Chain A
Amino acid sequence: MEERKYGVYICQGCGIAEAVKIEGLEKVARKGGKIPHIKNHPILCSPEGLEFIKTDIAAEGINGLVICACSPRVKYEEFDFPGCLIERVNIRELVAWTQEPQAEETQLLAEDYVVMGCAKIKKADIPEGVPVEIERAILVIGGGVTGLTAALEAANLGQQVVLVEKEAELGGLGAGLFQQTPRKYPYQELEVPVVFNKIKEVLTNPKIKVLTKSEVVLIDGQPGLYDVTIKTDGKEDIYKIGAVILAAGAKPYDATKLGHLGYGKSDDVVTNWELEKIAADGKILRPSNGKPAQKVVFIQCAGSVDPDHLPYCSAFCCGTSLKQAKYVRTMNPDSLAYIIYKNMRTLGQNELFYKHAQNDPGILLTKGDVTGVEVADDGSLAVIAENTLLGDKIKLEADLVVLATGLVPATVEGPVLNLNYRQGPGLPDLELFQGFADSNFICFQYETRRTGVYAAGAVRQPMDMATAMEDAAGAALKAYQCLEHTAKGIAVHPRAWDQTFPDPFMQRCTACKRCTEECPFGAIEEDEKGTPFYKINRCRRCGTCMGACPERIVSFKDFSVDIIGSMIKAMDVPEEGTRIVAFVCENDAYPAIDAAALNRLKLHPAVRFISVRCLGSFNLVWIADALSRGIDGILIMGCKYGDDYQCHFAKGSELANYRMGKLQETLDRLALESERAQFMEVAINDFDKLPKLIDDFVVRVEEIGPNPYKEF
């Protein structure tokens, strides 16, 4: 560890000086924190304040700064001094804005935070990323509109692209269309399917290598360093790849399962995909007898939003049926096109197209539940619908019935990616999204749980082509980001600034494999002897391995079991009065606390918040550390988990809760009440509920009574 000279800088601004006695903080920094160099300033983040620090750094050779001011979530650009280790102590949000000014408890709280910060910085070090030589080619799986767009976008970013298509021709579902819903204002004119132009562009782009009749057999390695085996016409080749865009798309739902809607019972009941082919001939004719169809009934959600079929909405079908109703009306102005929908859903600007189509007197729309399609002996069709807006049960005579069928993602049938991962060849937890390769990282839709693999288009979510193209562009940028960050040796996302990496002390590893099991991103593999090792480019630095490890051997430069343990030890635990430690997830719970502070809500002064990367990094030993110090209660605050989890690292909060269950058995055995430690789900927008949740916990802990270990 580099020789450090530490300095504590205390800000008086934003109400800090009004809430606490600065000289008290200085005293504890000196005594408890054991850092003699202490300065304060009226407004530390002001140009004068920053200059004040810089001058001090230069004059005194300070290279470890404990900045006691605002939340680390703000002013991080101001408080960035190259070559210096920075520790931010949040005495604004956590103290000045949420506590009774000048109260004794408030002062004690602020002093605790200062010494905890001092303790932390002494154990931390400046992280440095390790640059690596990487492959920069991007593999795009799927040659439909998404894959083509992604390939072009990636090529435009200067990357080499390998485009793999299973079929003999590029184009996917989009190539089967007669016309496409409008994509530009005023969203009225149908367009030539955009996919044909894209095929031309891709085939003539020198940066894109197109492999048709090809499949990905194996993706081995890690971001920046993949060896991808691709089988073309039975022959296997290995390609060096940096990142992967999964654009394998979707298939139409199998209409033979829709017998109740007449499919298979009459040739005049067709799917929306089949109608495209009919329309391509220029006339809407009945397949049964070749006569013009005067009355065409479109049944929306045919096999969609239906627990017996596809439980979800496929998003594109409403726009498509409106488009096809326009085919019908344009090709035969005397005809009528009926659309029976559950909910008319036209994404984005397609609302304007909906209005336009609706304005046609011959396009007739109603909400309704189609209960059946009757085929009479003479071949005539009748659609029966209930719950329509027309009130009664209705019967619609039809010459042609069109079933608006939805999409089934390619990832339902197989893993597609064929990853060489200990955790399996496909993307994990697809069942959460009915097989779609979706991301539940709310803000990062293209990110899958396999770093370096970005899903886009209909394989990710059911969507129309306009959305798929935007998606493709987004995924291409994410793939590019992955290459850039990997090359610099820093985390790809979501901790995109992070230069740290897990650094295990392997001599003590027992090869228990808990880390390899629990890593949400499959970053840890095992060698032949079963010893785990990191494929570091897959790692997102959440620290789940650090939380998992019973031997506590995993550390980051600025975040380790020891660092947090030292902070707990630094706290002052008086014999009288309650002390609670709350470990909070930096992604949701900590921002929620900041938001509570912004709203000047009062938080209980007995609670000390310690920010952790993810609850997955929460190591149980900290509970023992805290309880043995006489701390009365422990809160673990993380994101919501379950089906619609909000965890940035997918599993952290769930794992923490699971580990807590194990712990409570142990606590019970030690005659310590298990209620002293509680897990709490806090969403970022729960800030208003936070004070009460915390107060309630404090009350419960006080009911249990003081921690018996206090006296030792």
Chain B
Amino acid sequence: MADETVIKSDLEFVKRLQEYGGESLKKCYQCATCSVVCNISPDDKPYPRKEMLMAQWGLKDQIVKDPDIWACHYCGDCTTYCPRGANPGEVLGAMRQACIEHYSFPSMLARMVSQPKFLPVLLAIPVLVILFVMKLTGTLGNIPAGTIKYSNMLPLLAVDAIFVAAAGFAVFVFVNGVRRYWKDLNADISPWKAKLSNKSVVSATIDVLKEFIVHKRFKECVTNYARSTSHLLLVLGFIALAIVTAWSAYYEWASKFGLIPHKESPFSITEPIKWVALVGTFLLLYGIYLIYQQRQAKANGAGFGGYFDWLLIWVIVAVGVTGAMSWILRLANLASLAYPMYFLHLVSVFFLFFYAPYTKMAHLVYRTTALVFAKMQGRE
């Protein structure tokens, strides 16, 4: 009997999912209300019921490579309607966390990101790195007075060095993780075997990105319909700020090579780059504010999320608030507050970039991968 699946239950994994916000997972009695109320679950082998059972049975191998956990957009409809209070939405969140943890290297760092007790350690790393670089550049305790210029605290080159390194590390971890994930996805044992579509990776990716940009799936949520807007604002904020980053890098590096005249930051309020930056910051802050508010409001019905979710929310808040405050304090010319604020901004941005493969930020990469795979399989 070759077609049977040998069950390997991992009791520790069950407990870990419970620790990650799925503490109610054992309450599920597999009535499938969740799969019925979910608007984005497909008709064939729908989620999240099967995932709930896999979670109860501690089927780690199957869970981490189940693309359906990423098809879920955490609408919370399942959680709202679950008759047994098993909160499938939260359990799927815990599974995604487990998936990120499984594929990100080194796994120790991932485990640390998952647990609140390691937060001070995680924060200490960027603090020490930035202090160390300031020491190297000689600006530590030695910032010249006068007009506030953040490059006085940390030269642009040093900033680039730190953040290119951090981002590079993140990209390396992502590439490694996605490579392994993709391999597992394509391995023979898939929780569902749908008919193959003829889509290539490229066309599937384009389809997925198109859906992303209009938040097509998000809009099918009922309980949390409003989140399709707030999340979109947040994403647009990120895109705007990414454009600003690329734009300022272009100014910096293109002038270095003499392609354009040098343009020194801070940029004037009359510059278009500043407008984009302000719009981006506003979208980011407003988006994350809405998300915060909606989560509080829906905590009892649709699920509140766990530490893993809230860590990312607070990091984004920190990035946005410290960024905006750095700008305001600079304009207010309060050097004694402005430089520490900028320092905090750098720390939070470093945190966001460097730990991206381990935090919920990684959903960007794994969700895309999983959905591209699903598209190619013709699973809608």
Contacts and interface: CB of A to CB of B under 8 A. Distances in A.
Contacts of A358: 26-27, 29
Nearest to A365: B56
Interface stretch (A17-25, A83-91, A156-164, A385-393): A385-393
A685 B367 CA distance: 56
Contact of A355 (B7, B27, B30, B59): B27
A666 B349 CA distance: 102
Interface in B37-88: 45, 49-50, 53-54, 56-59, 84
B30 A389 contact: yes
Given A355-B27, A359-B26, A389 B53 contact: yes
A362 to B, nearest CB: 6
A392 B59 CA distance: 13
Interface in A390-407: 390-397
A10 B14 CA distance: 76
B15 interface: yes
B188 interface: no
A364 B8 CA distance: 12
A175 interface: no
Contacts of B6: 394-395, 397
A336 B27 contact: no
Contacts of A334: 11
Contact of A366 (B18, B26, B53, B192): B53
Nearest to A383: B7
A361 B11 contact: yes
B5 interface: yes
A360 interface: yes
Given A334-B11, A366-B53, A366-B57, A391 B27 contact: no
B40 to A, nearest CB: 20
A91 B84 CA distance: 53
B1 interface: yes
Contact of A367 (B11, B30, B50): B30
Interface in B1-34: 1, 3-7, 9, 11, 14-15, 18, 26-27, 29-30
Interface in A305-346: 334, 336, 338, 344
A384 interface: yes
A101 to B, nearest CB: 50
Nearest to B55: A361
Nearest to B8: A397
Contact of A391 (B9, B11, B26, B191): B191
Contacts of B50: 389-391
Contact of A392 (B3, B14, B49, B53): B3
A480 to B, nearest CB: 41
A359 B85 CA distance: 12
A384 B9 contact: no
A395 B4 contact: yes
A265 B7 CA distance: 23
Contacts of A397: 6-7
A362 B57 contact: no
B29 A384 contact: no
A352 to B, nearest CB: 12
Q: Which of B3, B5, B50, B84 has the most CB of A within 10 A?
A: B5
A384 B11 contact: no
Q: Which of B11, B56, B57, B84 has the most CB of A within 10 A?
A: B57
Contacts of B7: 390, 394-397
Given A336-B9, A355-B27, A391-B50, A364 B57 contact: yes
A336 B4 contact: no
A336 B11 contact: yes
B1 A384 contact: yes
Given A336-B11, A361-B11, A364-B57, A392 B5 contact: yes
B5 A362 contact: no
Given A336-B11, A358-B26, A390 B4 contact: no
B26 A390 contact: no
A344 B29 CA distance: 9
Contacts of B26: 358-361
Contacts of B15: 361
A389 B3 CA distance: 16
A464 to B, nearest CB: 20
A389 B49 contact: yes
Contacts of B4: 384, 392-395
A364 B9 contact: yes
Contacts of B191: 391
Nearest to B49: A389
A390 B54 contact: yes
A384 B1 CA distance: 10
A524 B119 CA distance: 88
Given A344-B29, A389-B49, A361 B1 contact: no
Given A355-B27, A360-B26, A361-B11, A391 B57 contact: no
A364 B9 CA distance: 9
A390 B49 CA distance: 9
B131 to A, nearest CB: 43
Contacts of A338: 9
Q: Which of B3, B4, B30, B56 has the most CB of A within 10 A?
A: B4
Contact of A393 (B5, B14, B29): B5
Nearest to B192: A391
Given A361-B14, A364-B56, A365-B56, A393 B1 contact: yes
A547 to B, nearest CB: 51
Interface string A349-391: 0000001001111101111000000000000000010000111
Contacts of A355: 27, 84
Given A344-B29, A358-B26, A391-B45, 4 more contacts: A359-B26, A362-B11, A367-B30, A384-B4
13 contacts: A338-B9, A359-B27, A364-B56, A364-B57, A366-B30, A366-B53, A389-B30, A389-B49, A389-B53, A390-B53, A393-B5, A394-B5, A397-B7
Interface of B: 1, 3-7, 9, 11, 14-15, 18, 26-27, 29-30, 45, 49-50, 53-54, 56-59, 84, 191-192
Interface of A: 334, 336, 338, 344, 355, 358-362, 364-367, 384, 389-397
5 shortest interchain CB distances as A-B pairs: A361-B14, A393-B4, A395-B4, A359-B26, A392-B5
